[in-house]
Amino acid sequence: MALPRPTTHRRLPVLTAAATLLAALGVAPAAAATPGHAPDRTPEKTPVAVGYGGVVSSVDPDASAAGIEVLRKGGNAVDAAVATAAALGVTEPYSAGIGGGGFFVRYDAKTGKVSTIDGRERAPLSAGPDLFLENGKPIPFPDAVTSGLGVGTPGTPATWDTALRTWGSRSLAELLRPAQRLARDGFTVDATFRQQTAENQERFKDFPATTKLFLPGGRLPVVGTTLKNPDLARTYELLARQGVDAVYQGEVGRDIVRTVRKPPVAPGAHRVVRPGDLTEKDLRAYATKRQEPTRTSYRGLDVYGMAPSSSGGTTVAEALNILENGDLSRLDEKTYLHRYIEASRIAFADRNRWVGDPAFEKVPVKGLLSQRFADSRACLVKDDAVLTSPLAPGDPSRPASSCTTRGAAAPTPYEGENTTHLTVADKWGNVVAYTLTIEQTGGSGITVPGRGFLLNNELTDFSFTPVTPGVHDPNLPGPGKRPRSSMSPTIVLEHGKPVFALGAPGGATIITTVLQSLLNHVDRGMPLVDAIAAPRASQRNAAATELEPGLWNSPLRRQLEAKGHVFKQNAEIGAATGVQRLPDGRWLAAAETARRGGGSAMVVRPAGKPPVH
Ligand code: GLU
């Protein structure tokens, strides 16, 4: 179920002169804000910040400020990442929260090592490949999204716990405090939040707990007013006291299980809400996975990413390895875009065929990351012709010596375009890139009554049936299996030291957003903030490549169409964030200038201006 991203601005200024118009848009004048209205507290938004003492970049200023508060008090990047994520659970509750999962990548300044945590949700232990089938037929996708059936065992609390036990210097209790405060005192509703609520209104109203939280008085929250979540404040308080056992072995977990097994639907609602078979045993059995990151070298840099169950690391790496066959810095814009599109197409053809949860599938990670395999695919890219999708995959275990593809093509199944990414660096030079999600904007739409958070619908990232009939699909459901993700938290090193890190939301477009931003920065010489802001194209082994308006409306589109490219418009593709270590030792945080109303880059001690490339 595609919910288009709003392009409206967060923290919309409320102007008295425009009060009538704003009221018509559902925007309250300041005087009409609810008691407890606290807009003065909302930190300024800025897409770029430079200085010392540590940096945080996220989509939301309250969340970035939570991370900065931790850094300022001497916490490290992992501590700050957890505090920022917990705050996002309050202010971005439709994208992130303890009802979801994610992937955490960390660079250690002392050892120079990059490590990861796979905190992906898992299917119930009772799940089989027929999880989403009824009478042998797949259930309608929207029905699966808004159901207990689509809810995976949450991995986010366990991710925070693993990260803090392994690398943290502060207690979870201390790090949850800024988020608790935000949940208790409230945050200012902005146009994006209202818009996202409006897109979900029709299903939210079928769940009394969700209505109570996000549709106060049965209506859309008004821009400029304060939204409080006392239930979440109490849930965080419980986690502060009991640790994440409250979720995996305690009362919050019992409430999650009850909610999934019997989704509390409003009396009289016509919606069929299928239950899920999540049990307390599933929660007890949940464990994060510490696994080696993916690594590839690209133009003298080492690019680290997330290994399966995310397809992010291998797919970004394969595309980079394909593109390394030519010098992108010298190309005209048209040829550069053409090559980027073709490399993405090929990398997605291979992703779709080969990547799934490695606990269940033999995923040829080494082959997918190898330059030899990429070279056997790069020869498909021709500057004077356009490849046809769906393109057939190659075989990473036996790279062809000639330029051929074999087997049936595997198109990219639908994934939501939501999620949130945060990037942090501390004064010691440790770096965290962390992407977290509840899948769809608004997840399953089901709030755990009395607990203040939405449950994910991550299991809808599984293929319901094999994408290519007759060909093994590595992404079918299984007992305790993790659905394939596209999340691509990425850290880039040069001679063992971090140079930048980034990530993005946006379902399968995450991969192309990270890839394109990286290329813009490394090959096209754009400052990180411009590399992120530049209009995006996303090709995922589909007939049409998606273009944001900046490219759709540019003469480049016509030039590429003349070559044979097919395009369709996508209003907005993924709000990325990143950090960069500048050659003079300062750190830079970069966020969106416009997408999702602009992101929030912050630094502990601002110093000077960003360098001009
Ligand atoms: N479910 C997606 C993934 O894991 C993330 C959610 C989204 O961005 O839509 O790749």
Predicted local confidence at residue 400, as pLDDT: 78
Rounded to whole angstroms, what are the CA distances from 79 to 101, 171, 177, 239, 404?
18, 8, 12, 16, 48
pLDDT tier for residue 167 given thresholds of 50, 70 and 90: very high
Cite the annotated binding site for L-glutamate by residue number. 120, 461, 485-486, 507
- Residues annotated as part of the active site: 419
Mean pLDDT throughout 23-40? 34
- Protein residue whose Cα sits closest to atom 7 of ligand 1: 507
Separation of 417 CA from ligand 1 center, angstroms?
6
Percent of the chain with pLDDT over 90: 87
Predicted local confidence at residue 409, as pLDDT: 78
Rounded to whole angstroms, what are the CA distances from 549 to 1, 552, 557, 560?
22, 5, 10, 15
CA torsion angle 2 194 90 182 (round to 10): 170
Best probe residue, ligand 1, of 415, 435, 438, 475 (max atoms within 8 Å of C-beta)? 415
pLDDT tier for residue 419 given thresholds of 50, 70 and 90: confident
Separation of 457 CA from ligand 1 center, angstroms?
10
Q: Flag whether pLDDT at 321 surpasses 80.
A: yes
Structural domains of the chain sorted by starting position, each given as residue range(s) with its CATH number in brackets: 18-290+416-504+528-536+574-606 (3.60.20.40)
Predicted local confidence at residue 609, as pLDDT: 84
Q: Flag whether pLDDT at 16 surpasses 60.
A: no
Question: Closest ligand 1 atom to the C-alpha of 505?
Answer: 8
CB atoms within 10 A of CB 402: 6
Q: Flag whether pLDDT at 249 surpasses 90.
A: yes
Rounded to whole angstroms, what are the CA distances from 550 to 341, 349, 459, 460, 561?
16, 27, 33, 31, 16
CA dist 55 and 84 (Å) reads: 12
3-state secondary structure of 133: strand
- Does this model's pTM top 0.75? My answer is yes
Q: Enumerate residues lining ligand 1, CB below 6 A.
A: 415-419, 437, 439, 458, 461, 485-487, 505-507
Structure tokens at 443: 């997840």
Alpha helices in 355-486 (DSSP H): 365-369, 371-378
How does pLDDT run across 98-113, given as a tens digit for each residue? 999 999 999 999 999 9
Best probe residue, ligand 1, of 461, 481, 509, 514 (max atoms within 8 Å of C-beta)? 461
CA dist 318 and 145 (Å) reads: 31
Q: Are 411 and 539 in contact (CB under 8 A)?
A: no
- Protein residue whose Cα sits closest to atom 6 of ligand 1: 439
Residue 470: Cβ-neighbour burial (10 angstroms; 0-12, 13-18, 19+):
exposed
Predicted local confidence at residue 412, as pLDDT: 73
Question: Closest ligand 1 atom to the C-alpha of 508?
Answer: 10
Residues present in the chain in total: 613
Best probe residue, ligand 1, of 481, 485, 511, 513 (max atoms within 8 Å of C-beta)? 485
Separation of 102 CA from ligand 1 center, angstroms?
9
Question: Closest ligand 1 atom to the C-alpha of 312?
Answer: 10
pLDDT tier for residue 404 given thresholds of 50, 70 and 90: low
Question: Closest ligand 1 atom to the C-alpha of 435?
Answer: 5
User: Which residues, other chains included, contact 397 with Cβ-Cβ below 8 Å and sequence gap of 6+?
Assistant: 364, 367
